[in-house]
Amino acid sequence: MNSLDKSKIDSFKNQFQGDVLSPDDPSYDDVRQIWNAMIDRKPGLIARCKLADDVVTAVNFARDNSLLVSVRGGGHNIAGNAVCDGGIMIDLSLLNQVHVDADKQIALVDPGCTLGDVDAATQKFGLATPVGINSTTGIAGLTLGGGFGWLSRKYGMTIDNLLSVNIVTADGRQLRASESENTDLFWGVRGGGGNFGIVTQFEFQLHPVGPKVLSGLMVFPYDQAKSIIKQFATFTQNAPDELSVWMVSRKAPPLPFLAEEVHGKEIVAFAICYVGNPEDGEKLIAPLRNFGTAYGEHIGVQPFVEWQQAFDPLLTPGARNYWKSHNFNHLSDEVIDAAIEYAGKLPSPHCEIFIASLGCATSRPAPESMAYSSRDANYVLNVHGRWETKEEDECCIEWAREFFAKTKPFASGGAYINFLTEDEADRTESAYGPTYSRLQQLKNKYDPTNLFRMNQNIKPF
């Protein structure tokens, strides 16, 4: 941290209504910890905001004292951008309220909320907006990078349902951005990450969902993988908007509906969610059962909030994580063969390869209508390296990189920035594709000194 005299820090604390932690505070280590255990950084100060005005105070203090800034929402980002070394972490996790207007079908969401917070509040009224698939993920980072999940084929990406934001810019101004106010900034925050400021409130469009949906898992033997994944690729091209089927290949966790001898074996699984009449959904998913001879399945009508938490046990904090990701227009034989090859040599029982099927509503906005431009991504493949000890780092990272390299020739270009790791800064420009030059102009306007650079950074001119 830049050397600051005690009087400046004391002055900041006096203006700041939240809590300011230094390394000698008892709670400092707990607060600085984030989801990915590979990231172990130590900020000079942690500013735990309780009000939007606290964000302004912290931004002004950081800018005026040339401090490195990181911003923590849920702390779930794979690259670990929520925490910096030596600078100031602006922690939003105490700002965690959701206000739902059921009549207007909108939600006002604070930046420290998790997806679980949002789902719990909106589902009380049988409403939801498309978010991710792990309830402990932070809504802020997910949204600013794009956001997709089980509802996206029907209702689009998270950013497609964003109506407005309140945001603090690098000069300390509090602005509202929407389709009618500061429209350039609103264009940029929908996919541009945290490059243009710190959002202090999100306004989302909600849709009737559930509160119960048809959802669950089908689990097949790994030796049937090629046939199953090829059929998955064909099936998902023509599936209706209401139906999401994702493919996961990994070692079987100890799921209660699987025989004990299957636990720990390589499997291919379908994760299924149908947003509509469950009887219609049952008819639609029936053909999936004929793709192979399943080890078992657990599919039924359950609360949407429970389905949103179904994968939480596989994504708990404290493990070491490294991801590599590609977008695809379609799944070629070469990609399927590579997925089978690398799923057959998982370096850790926690590693997995998943393919999310998108398209439908996610592909309908024009590519340059907002910062996120990869509207041709019908499939997002994520190589999820996950393991427990530092000694496993090399083999797990190498496995992910090799698979990524082997499938790169068949990818459609672009990238989902929320899946980019800390060593992939060179992919940022290609991730944005046709919108990158406009994003640079916007960065030049709102953050010309690059105060907000702990992100997939768009550098000003």
Structure confidence at residue 4 (pLDDT): 73
Burial 164-202 (b: 16+ CB within 10 A, else e): bbbbbbbebeebebeeeebeebbbbbbbbbbbbbbbbbb
Q: Output the CA angle 207-76-28, nearest 5 degrees.
A: 130
Structure confidence at residue 2 (pLDDT): 55
Structure confidence at residue 3 (pLDDT): 67
Domain membership flag for residue 384: yes
Same domain, 275 and 392: yes
Same domain, 76 and 103: no
Structure confidence at residue 65 (pLDDT): 96
Specify the number of domains making up the chain. 3
Give the domain range for residue 72. 6-91
Rounded-to-integer distance, Cα 143 and Cα 146, Å = 5
61 has which bridge partners?
none
Nearest to 305 by CA among 104, 154, 121: 121
Instruction: Give me 38's structure tokens.
Output: 């590979």
Q: Looking at 91, 109, 134, which one is the last position of a domain? A: 91
Same domain, 56 and 85: yes
Same domain, 316 and 360: yes
Same domain, 325 and 376: yes
Q: Which residues contact 121 (CB under 8 A, 6 or more apart)?
A: 98, 99, 100, 107
**CATH code of the domain covering residue 120:** 3.30.465.10
Same domain, 290 and 389: yes
324 has which bridge partners?
383
Rounded-to-integer distance, Cα 328 and Cα 409, Å = 10
Domain membership flag for residue 317: yes
Domain membership flag for residue 451: no
Rounded-to-integer distance, Cα 61 and Cα 179, Å = 31
Rounded-to-integer distance, Cα 73 and Cα 231, Å = 39
**CATH code of the domain covering residue 56:** 3.30.43.10
Taking phi over 0 as left and psi of -120 to 50 as alpha, with beta for the rest, 247 belongs to: beta
- Listed as own residue / partner, the contacts of 100-107 with beta carbons closer than 8 Å and 24 or more positions apart are 100/124, 100/125, 100/127, 100/206, 102/127, 105/205, 105/206, 105/207, 106/163, 106/203, 106/204, 106/205, 106/206, 107/203, 107/204, 107/206
Structure confidence at residue 6 (pLDDT): 86
Same domain, 260 and 179: no
CA 255 to chain centre: 25
Tens-binned pLDDT, residue by residue, of the chain (461 aa):
556 778 999 999 999 999 999 999 999 999 999 999 999 999 999 999 999 999 999 999 999 999 999 999 999 999 999 999 999 999 999 999 999 999 999 999 999 999 999 999 999 999 999 999 999 999 999 999 999 999 999 999 999 999 999 999 999 999 999 999 999 999 999 999 999 999 999 999 999 999 999 999 999 999 999 999 999 999 999 999 999 999 999 999 999 999 999 999 999 999 999 999 999 999 999 999 999 999 999 999 999 999 999 999 999 999 999 999 999 999 999 999 999 999 999 999 999 999 999 999 999 999 999 999 999 999 999 999 999 999 999 999 999 999 999 999 999 989 999 999 999 999 999 999 999 999 999 999 999 999 999 999 999 99
Answer yes or no: are the C-beta atoms of 35 and 75 closer than 8 Å.
Answer: yes
Domain membership flag for residue 444: no
Same domain, 64 and 10: yes
| pTM exceeds 0.85 for this model | yes
Same domain, 112 and 219: no
Instruction: Give me 301's structure tokens.
Output: 């009508």
Same domain, 376 and 278: yes
Same domain, 36 and 135: no
